C-alpha cells in the first residue's frame, strides 16, 4: 500500500505484477489473481516474537499528518482580563477538551484552600506512598517511604508537572486521590465551571489515549483568575528553575514562556496524546494582567507561539484607564434643603480595559437626584456614575453623600449638573494615551 500525493492510499501490488507478466484471457487472469490475493494476505499477517515487538515500537512513534486548508493550529483559544474576566478574544472557548496536566491547577487550588483553612501547612511532612511512587507520565522520581514537605511537593507538581508529587499532595490533603477528585469537582462547581469535570488529580489518563478529565478554555480562565487572586502559587510558577527540597532535584519549568516573555509568571502546561499541547498562561505589564489559554495545539512550540502572540496582541491593543479614583469628588452637585449644595464622592475606583482607539469615546454619566430635603449621613449612596463606551456600560460606581464639613457649599448659586456625560479627552482621565489601531 502506498500514499498518493492527494492523501489517499493506493495499491501498488497489482501494477508490479502486471509489469512483469503479460496476461491474456480470463482463464489466465483468475489463477494470477488468486496468487496475488494469497501473497497480499501473507503480507498482512501479524508479525510474531521480536519482530512484532519491533514493529509495535516503530508504529507507536508514527504520526499521521492531515493537512486541512485554513485550519488554525489549535482547537480553542482565549484571552481575557485577569481582574474582571472581560474576554478580549475567543475562539471555541466552550469546546469540551481534556486539560491534561492543567488539572493540577485545581489540585493545587484545593491544597491552598486547605492550607488557608489552617488544616495543613507548607512545612507538613508527607510520606510518599507506593501509589504515588508508581505513578507514570511526567514524574520527579519519588520513592516510596521518602518524606518531603507538602510545599515542596506542590512546587514540583506546578513547576515540573510531576505526577508522583501531585498524587502525594492529593493523598495528604484528602486521604486519597478519589476523595481529592471529589473536592476538586466541588470547587469547580462553586466557581461555576459548568463545563469541567475532573476524574484524576494530575490529568494523567488511566488508560493511554482515553482522558477522563474535561474542561473548556472559558473555565480554565475562571480557574486561572481564582489562582491569581486567591493563592500565592505564582511565586512558584514564575520560576524558570527551582531546587526541590533543598537540592534533592532541580525543577525545570515546563512553561517555556517563563523568563522569555516579558511579564509572564504562570501558570501551567498540559499534554496527552488525546489533548495535544495545552497552556494556561498569565502575564502582567504595568497595571494590566492578562490570561491566555490555548487547547489542542499540535506541538509544544506552537502552543507557546500562539499564547505569546495572543498576549502581545492584548498588551499592544488594549489599555487600562481609571476615570475615577476612590473618594474622588464628582464634578456635579446636589441641593440639600434651601441653601446647601454638596458634591458626592466616588465609592470606589472605576477601572475599565478598552482598546486604545476607544479611549476618546468613553463618557461618564451621572444618575443623581436633583434635590434632598435634608442632610444625610456621610457615605449614604445617592446614585450612580456609569462609564460608557458608546451605548455600552463598561463600569459603574456608587456616588456617596460626602462628609458634611469637608464638602459643602452654603448659600451657593451654582447650578447643579445631572446626567452629564464628560468626554475623557477633556480632562476627566488626565493624560490620554495616544490611540493606536490593530487587528487580530
Q: Which helix (H) or strand (E) holds 114?
A: helix 103-116
How far is the C-alpha of 369 from the C-alpha of 98, rounded, in Å?
A: 53
How far is the C-alpha of 32 from the C-alpha of 180, rounded, in Å?
A: 65
C-beta of residue 347 within 8 angstroms of C-beta of residue 397: yes
How far is the C-alpha of 200 from the C-alpha of 181, rounded, in Å?
A: 6
C-beta of residue 342 within 8 angstroms of C-beta of residue 402: yes
Q: Is 408 a catalytic residue?
A: no
Q: Cα torsion at 109, 281, 202, 175 (round to 10°)?
A: -10
CA angle 401/403/409 to nearest 5° reads: 85
How far is the C-alpha of 89 from the C-alpha of 315, rounded, in Å?
A: 12
Nearest residue to 104 via CA among 277, 306, 229, 267: 267
Q: Is 434 a catalytic residue?
A: no
**In the chain, what are the helix, strand and coil shares in percent, each to the nearest 5?**
30, 25, 40
Q: Is 325 a catalytic residue?
A: no
CA distances from 302 to 32, 105, 135, 255, 372 (A): 51, 22, 28, 12, 62
Grid coordinates given for 226: 481564582
C-beta of residue 202 within 8 angstroms of C-beta of residue 171: no
Which residue out of 129, 161, 238, 333 is catalytically annotated? 161
Q: In terms of residues, how long is the chain?
A: 440
Question: What sign results for the dihedral spanned by CA atoms 211, 215, 216, 220?
Answer: negative
Nearest residue to 269 via CA among 138, 156, 161: 161
How far is the C-alpha of 75 from the C-alpha of 278, rounded, in Å?
A: 10
C-beta of residue 290 within 8 angstroms of C-beta of residue 80: yes
Q: What is the C-alpha radius of gyration for the chain, rounded to an integer number of angstroms?
A: 31
How far is the C-alpha of 4 from the C-alpha of 55, rounded, in Å?
A: 23
Grid coordinates given for 205: 489518563
The maximal CA–CA distance of the chain, rounded, in angstroms, is: 120
C-beta of residue 383 within 8 angstroms of C-beta of residue 366: yes
Phi first, then psi, for residue 221 (nearest 5°) are: -65, -40
Q: Catalytic positions, please? A: 101, 104, 161
Amino acid at each position: 500500500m502506498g500514499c498518493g500525493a492527494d492523501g489517499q492510499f493506493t495499491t501498488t501490488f497489482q501494477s508490479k505484477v502486471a509489469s512483469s507478466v503479460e496476461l491474456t484471457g480470463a482463464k489466465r487472469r483468475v489463477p494470477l489473481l488468486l496468487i496475488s490475493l494469497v501473497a497480499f494476505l501473507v503480507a498482512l499477517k501479524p508479525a510474531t516474537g521480536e519482530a512484532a515487538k519491533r514493529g509495535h515500537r516503530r508504529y507507536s512513534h508514527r504520526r499521521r499528518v492531515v493537512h486541512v486548508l485554513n485550519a488554525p493550529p489549535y482547537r480553542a483559544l482565549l484571552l481575557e482580563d485577569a481582574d474582571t474576566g472581560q474576554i478580549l478574544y475567543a475562539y471555541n472557548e466552550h469546546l469540551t477538551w481534556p486539560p491534561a496536566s492543567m488539572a493540577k491547577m485545581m489540585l493545587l487550588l484545593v491544597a491552598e484552600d486547605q492550607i488557608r483553612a489552617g488544616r495543613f501547612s507548607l512545612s507538613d511532612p508527607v510520606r510518599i506512598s507506593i501509589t504515588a511512587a508508581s505513578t507514570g507520565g511526567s514524574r520527579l522520581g519519588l520513592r516510596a517511604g521518602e518524606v518531603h514537605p507538602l510545599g515542596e511537593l506542590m512546587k514540583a507538581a506546578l513547576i515540573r508537572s510531576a505526577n508522583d508529587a501531585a498524587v502525594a499532595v492529593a493523598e495528604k490533603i484528602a486521604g486519597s486521590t478519589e476523595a481529592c477528585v471529589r473536592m476538586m469537582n466541588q470547587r469547580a462547581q462553586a466557581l461555576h465551571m459548568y463545563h469541567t469535570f475532573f476524574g484524576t488529580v494530575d490529568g494523567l489518563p488511566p488508560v493511554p489515549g482515553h482522558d477522563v478529565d474535561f474542561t473548556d478554555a472559558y473555565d480554565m480562565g475562571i480557574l486561572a483568575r481564582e489562582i491569581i487572586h486567591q493563592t500565592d502559587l505564582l511565586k512558584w510558577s514564575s520560576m524558570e528553575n527551582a531546587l526541590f527540597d533543598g537540592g534533592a532535584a532541580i525543577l525545570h519549568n515546563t512553561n517555556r514562556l517563563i523568563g522569555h516573555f516579558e511579564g509572564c509568571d504562570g501558570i501551567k502546561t498540559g499534554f496527552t496524546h488525546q489533548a495535544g499541547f495545552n497552556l494556561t498562561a498569565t502575564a502582567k505589564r504595568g497595571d494590566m494582567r492578562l490570561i491566555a489559554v490555548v487547547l489542542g495545539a499540535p506541538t509544544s512550540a506552537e502552543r507557546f507561539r500562539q499564547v505569546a502572540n495572543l498576549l502581545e496582541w492584548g498588551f499592544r491593543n488594549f489599555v487600562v484607564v481609571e476615570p475615577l479614583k476612590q473618594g474622588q469628588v464628582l464634578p456635579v452637585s446636589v441641593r440639600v434643603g434651601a441653601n446647601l449644595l454638596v458634591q458626592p464622592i466616588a465609592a470606589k475606583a472605576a477601572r475599565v480595559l478598552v482598546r486604545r482607539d476607544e479611549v476618546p469615546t468613553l463618557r461618564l454619566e451621572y444618575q443623581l437626584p436633583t434635590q434632598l430635603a435634608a442632610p444625610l449621613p456621610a457615605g449614604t449612596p445617592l446614585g450612580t456614575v456609569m462609564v460608557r463606551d458608546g451605548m455600552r456600560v463598561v463600569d459603574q460606581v456608587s456616588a456617596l453623600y460626602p462628609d458634611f464639613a469637608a464638602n459643602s457649599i452654603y448659600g451657593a448659586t451654582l447650578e447643579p449638573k445631572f446626567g452629564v456625560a464628560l468626554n475623557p479627552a477633556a480632562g476627566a482621565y488626565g493624560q490620554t494615551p495616544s490611540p493606536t489601531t490593530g487587528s487580530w
